[in-house]
Amino acid sequence: MTFTEADFENSVIEIFRDNLGYTYRYGPEVDRDYHNPLYEEQLLSSLETINPKLPQTAIEEAVYKLKNIGTGTLVQKNFIFTDYLQNGIPVKYYDGKEERSAIVYLVDYQNPANNTFHVINQWTVVDEVEKRPDIVIFVNGLPLVVVELKSPSREETDVSEAYRQLRNYLHDIPSLFVYNAFCVMSDHATSKAGTITADEDRYMEWKTVDGSYENTQYAAFDVLFEGIFEKERFLDILKNFICFSKETPEDKKILGAYHQYFAVKKALQSTKEATLTDGKGGVFWHTQGSGKSLSMVFYAKQLREVLDSPTIVVITDRNDLDGQLFGQFSACEDYLRQTPVQAESRADLKMLILNREVNGIIFTTMQKFEEYDAPLSKRRNIVVIADEAHRSQYGFEEKVHPKTGKIRIGSARKVRDSLPNATYIGFTGTPVSLADRNTREIFGDYIDIYDMTQSVEDNATVPIYYESRVVALKLDESILHEIDDEYDRVAEEAEEYIVEKSKHELGRLESILGAPETITTLCEDIIKHYETYRQYEQTGKAMIVAYSRPIAMKVYRRILELRPEWKEKLGVVMTSDNNDPEDWREVIGNKKHKENMAGKFKDNNDPLKIAIVVDMWLTGFDVPSLSTMYVYKPMTGHNLMQAIARVNRVYKDKQGGLIVDYVGIAGALRKAMKDYTGRDRKNYGNPDIGKTAYPKFREKLEVCRDLFHGFDYSVFETGTDLERAKLITGGVNYISHPSKEEKRNAFVRESLLLRHAMSLCRSLLDQNERFEAAYFEAVRTLLTRIEGKGKLSLREINNRINELLKQSIRSEGVINLFSDVKEKYSLFDPAFLSEIARMKEKNLAVELLKKLLMEQIRVYSRTNVVKSAKFSELLAEAMNSYINGMLTNEQVIEELLKIAKDMAEAHKEGEELGLNPEEMAFYDALTKPEAVKDFYENDELVAITKELTELLRKNKTIDWQKKETARAGMRRLVKRLLKQHKYPPEGMEDAVSTVLAQCEMWTDNTEFDE
């Protein structure tokens, strides 16, 4: 017995009702107006309970405002509602003497037991059309969460289907989503939560109930429901872990992920304890790309509930980072309920802190602190958040210059002296060095660790891979040694006098790396690598990290000389200087220009694809589709790890980010990994594609070869377009034989993994490997398009495979996989069917016919109960006989063509009788028993059909779809009509059940507009 979608729905309801203590209601049994998505009766009752001191008029005004949330887009309305949900609805009322202002709270966050929690299935909403989501979770009558489930036992549905269903709901019943906090989708194997603005790849699993990161690789479906919807935690998430970010042209609604939720809770507790003791709030290490900046926003907002009116000072060590982080906080100022301010100078910073006794979020760089005669503030309710808390600038000790004897006070000491009673917490995307005593002395130990391995498992980030192309520059050994020395000079332990001493040597290295012939070789190789292997990877976004600003300009100009048509495709983003040559200015631009460049690079559809950078954009700058970074600059430690993390963001089916190395950073990478967790070192300690992706590619290529053993595709590499087309369809034909079902399933799985590995190591493949992999990908694409969801489009399949071959093997030809089949076709077209029958690839012909027949049967399954059952049985019978070897492929084609012919004749029959498809379905139900036609004239049966259809149309009501009592009324109407016509004949009483089944199918699949 299969585990149906209804069974799955019941199991989820059981979790809410029995495990979490929610009250269950069946939607159709709630007496209400379907045009109103609120559970209004419960809403009014709850608001009175939560706001006992307010008069009825205040409650009524709040409900009025709730039901009439302004104009604007759905997202804009949802923004207003989210503010109401988290902070209450401001109202005015007359108390008999004067007008008063008050706040009507929608939720009692302090007393969870004071709220009502309902789980309701089949909650009907009528808007643009009428829809019934699977499950809606209500708090105090507000429909806060929509849950969409898909059957775990039906192969053709999965969690992606649930996502598409949720997106359709946004268009069909937007009124429900005005009041939405977030959505959940699950197919039992995968359960994820996300907001109304989230793309599918930003829906996240919730992998723990208690905050432990153990055993979180594969989380059972109930973990999400019990992890998020435990009542106290659910309310906490609603109030504190949902925010709108307004830094993009379109507002983004953000739901905190499970690792952010539990880590922020730990940080708040640690901070609270630190304010009473040593001021060491701890270090919050969440790997780059996993949402650290948003975690800081969530933390900052909730500090006001943990401490008494705290002032927050956010410190970075670079102006561009200060600006980026300030931008993130400013984008969330509505959520924070205070406006962050940025210190413009040392004097400004001093005034901002001296003149403030409570609250405030102040952004500054480390360098703006100086030695003061007295502390700026001795308050204990100041919290200093240090971003990237372990950089060398955060030195705690005084250091003496060995030549001048001058004492240099570490930046961290200046901050500590300025704010001696503050609590210090460090946020970092890279680990604190084991040898770094300063960071621990200032901040204390780790509060929470979310490492690379966990982040990749959770799909919060993708892994990073490495490819060395140092050899392409043809630099001699002595130059490579000089670059190694440069690494040592830029190491974090380097003292100021060492850096000064090495300026001469650095200048020499600049002249070598910036030599015209070296720049030309570099640019030629980058262009070749990009055009051949990376321009089609995701959106084609790539970054070139240059050694210095002059070298960045040389690279820019040389690439444009080699590719003048790349004027819009290529850009430079770096700091400017008053002494810059005049001809640099039009390229670098001012601050506004840089902001414009950032917007263009983040826009996946913008022609700007390649950005040349030096220091800017290497930390805190997110472009999820960015897949490739070309490195021509020595970097070490956390600087290196932060830079390469630009390519680790999640985007669609991106398998990883690729770092292409021209200066030999492999050793620095290995060294930087020393401080990571044991499993990070094991999994990502050697990201070289030659030792990771390429062996995986070879393994999967061998598997695919084995699966195709016995089929000769060797001429694919050298053949004509026609020969290639025949090999692709021939390959599908070969692997589609019924005796090869297991092999076919294995091939679809393994060839996809082959493609994933190839996307990372394409530059290492020889020509034979590239063509062979391209062949298997073309076969997989054709096979999955024929067998997959959606309507069959031969033109779309052709276009897709031509594009694929153009990208993978630079094919300029155009192949036609279906040269024997005309472009426009119909299942009811005899000429088209005979073209399919004549195909040489008989197994492929069977798959095409099966797909087309199933498409038509799917239509019948919603419209015609008799034809649906009849043709489903005929198709299943024919395919079972074929799969079991009782029919050859020629014979099964004959059977399928016969079914198609029967469908065509049935289609014509309705036209001949003067019945539309809707009426024909009732006619089929009335005449299902063959003997019925012996008792009635055909004209009489047609008349009954039309009368029955008209009766249903005239009396239709939404209640027929929802309430069993209403459905019973519909059945009585139908039986009364049939009785008037003395239907059914004596002895054929079962015929009525077929007619009623057709009526119920019509009811369930008809759009109601009232």
Write the DSSP string, 896-938. HHHHHHHHHHHHHHHHHHT--HHHHHHHHHHT-STTHHHHS-H
The pairing of beta strand 130-131 with beta strand 125-126: antiparallel
CA-based nearest residue to 283, from 424, 452, 434: 424
Instruction: Give the domain CATH number at 78.
Output: 3.90.1570.50
**By C-alpha distance, which of 966, 948, 1002 is closest to 34?**
966
Give the separation between CA 600 and CA 569, rounded to whole angstroms. Answer: 10
Q: Please tell me the distance from the alpha carbon of residue 564 to that of residue 570, in angstroms, as a whole number.
A: 10
At 481 the pLDDT is 67
Amino acid present at 780: R
Q: DSSP 3-state assignment of 507?
A: helix
Distance of CA 824 to the CA centre of its chain: 36
- 899 occurs within a structural domain: no
Question: Which residue, 215, 246, 277, sits at the end of a domain?
Answer: 246
Mean pLDDT by 10 residues, the chain (1010 residues): 76 95 94 93 96 94 93 92 97 87 96 97 89 95 95 68 92 95 92 94 89 62 92 97 84 94 96 93 90 94 93 86 87 93 89 86 87 82 84 53 58 83 91 68 87 86 89 70 60 47 61 88 94 91 94 96 96 90 89 91 94 91 93 86 89 90 85 82 84 92 93 89 87 88 89 90 90 91 75 65 67 60 59 77 81 80 84 85 83 85 82 86 84 80 87 71 68 84 76 82 66
Helix 830-837 to helix 842-863 angle (10° resolution) is 140
**Whole-number Å distance between alpha carbons of 28 and 132:** 10
Let me know whether 608 and 470 are in one domain. yes
Single out the residue in 686, 708, 736 at which a domain terminates.
686
Same domain membership, residue 699 and residue 621? no
Question: Nearest 5 degrees, angle CA 788-CA 791-CA 796?
Answer: 90
Q: What pLDDT is recorded for position 1009?
A: 47
- Domain span including residue 279: 257-450
Phi, psi of 736, rounded to the nearest 5 degrees: -95, 0
CB count, 10 Å around CB of 755?
21
* Token representation of residue 237: 């998430």
Residue 511 has a pLDDT of 80
Residues 410 and 493 in one domain: no
CA distance 767 to 68: 64
pLDDT for 139 equals 98
Judge if 486 and 507 occupy the same domain.
Answer: yes
DSSP bridge pairs for 89: 104
Residue 246 three-state SS: coil
Q: Do 677 and 745 belong to one domain? A: no
| Residues 143, 47 share a domain | yes
Q: What SS3 class is residue 581?
A: coil
CA distances from 71 to 74, 76, 77 (A): 9, 8, 7
Q: Find out whether 555 and 612 touch, Cβ atoms under 8 Å.
A: yes
Residue 893 within any structural domain of the chain: no
Q: How far apart are CA 951 and CA 947, in angstroms?
A: 6
Number of domains in the chain: 5
Report helix, strand or coil for 386: strand
One domain, residues 93 and 187? yes
* Tokens linked to 813: 């030809």
Q: Is residue 894 part of a domain?
A: no
651 and 771 fall within a common domain: no
**What is the rounded CA–CA span in Å between residue 74 and residue 348?**
41
Strand pairing partners for 657?
Answer: 464
Picking from 201, 174, 193, the residue whose alpha carbon sits closest to that of residue 75 is 174
DSSP string computed for 177-212 = HTT-SEEEEE-SS-EEEE-TT--GGG-B----SSS-
Q: What is the DSSP letter of 828?
A: T
3-class secondary structure, 888: coil
Beta strand pairing call for 252-255 and 242-245 = antiparallel
The answer to the question of residue 868 being in a domain is no
Quote the CA–CA distance of 781 and 795 in Å, as a whole number: 13
Same domain, 671 and 704: no
**Does the residue 267 lie in any domain?**
yes
Using DSSP's 3-state secondary structure scheme, residue 166 falls into helix
- Please report whether residue 148 resides in a domain: yes
CA angle 913, 917, 922 (to 5 degrees): 80
Distance of alpha carbon 945 from alpha carbon 924, whole angstroms: 9
Q: Decide if 859 is inside a domain.
A: no
- Same domain assignment for residues 445 and 478: no
Which helix (H) or strand (E) segment holds residue 423: the answer is: strand 423-428
| Residue 991 vs residues 744, 864, 933, 972, 977: alpha-carbon distances, Å | 43, 15, 13, 15, 14
Closest CA to 360 of 389, 384, 327: 384
Among 136, 173, 175, CA closest to 42 = 136
With vertex at residue 460, the alpha carbon angle to CA 458 and CA 464, rounded to the nearest 5 degrees, is 105
Query: In this structure, are residues 383 and 312 in contact, taking their beta carbons and an 8 Å threshold?
Result: yes
pLDDT at 863: 83
Which of 643, 667, 686 is the endpoint of a domain?
Answer: 686
Q: Are residues 438 and 346 in the same domain?
A: yes
Is the CA virtual torsion 215, 220, 224, 226 positive or negative? negative
Q: Any idea what the CATH number is for the domain that residue 353 is in?
A: 3.40.50.300
Cα separation, 331 vs 681, in Å, equals 36
User: Are residues 137 and 145 in contact, defined by beta-carbon separation less than 8 angstroms?
Assistant: yes
Cα separation, 178 vs 81, whole angstroms: 7
Residue 845 within a domain: no
Same domain, 69 and 184: yes
Q: What is the pTM of this model?
A: 0.79
Q: Helix or strand or coil: residue 27? A: helix
C-alpha gyration radius of the chain? 34
**Res 720: pLDDT:** 86
624 SS3 class: coil
Tokens of 443: 């901040």
> How is residue 252 written in tokens?
């983004």
pLDDT for 965: 67
Residue 35, pLDDT score: 92
- Contact call for residues 417 and 471 (beta carbons, < 8 A): no
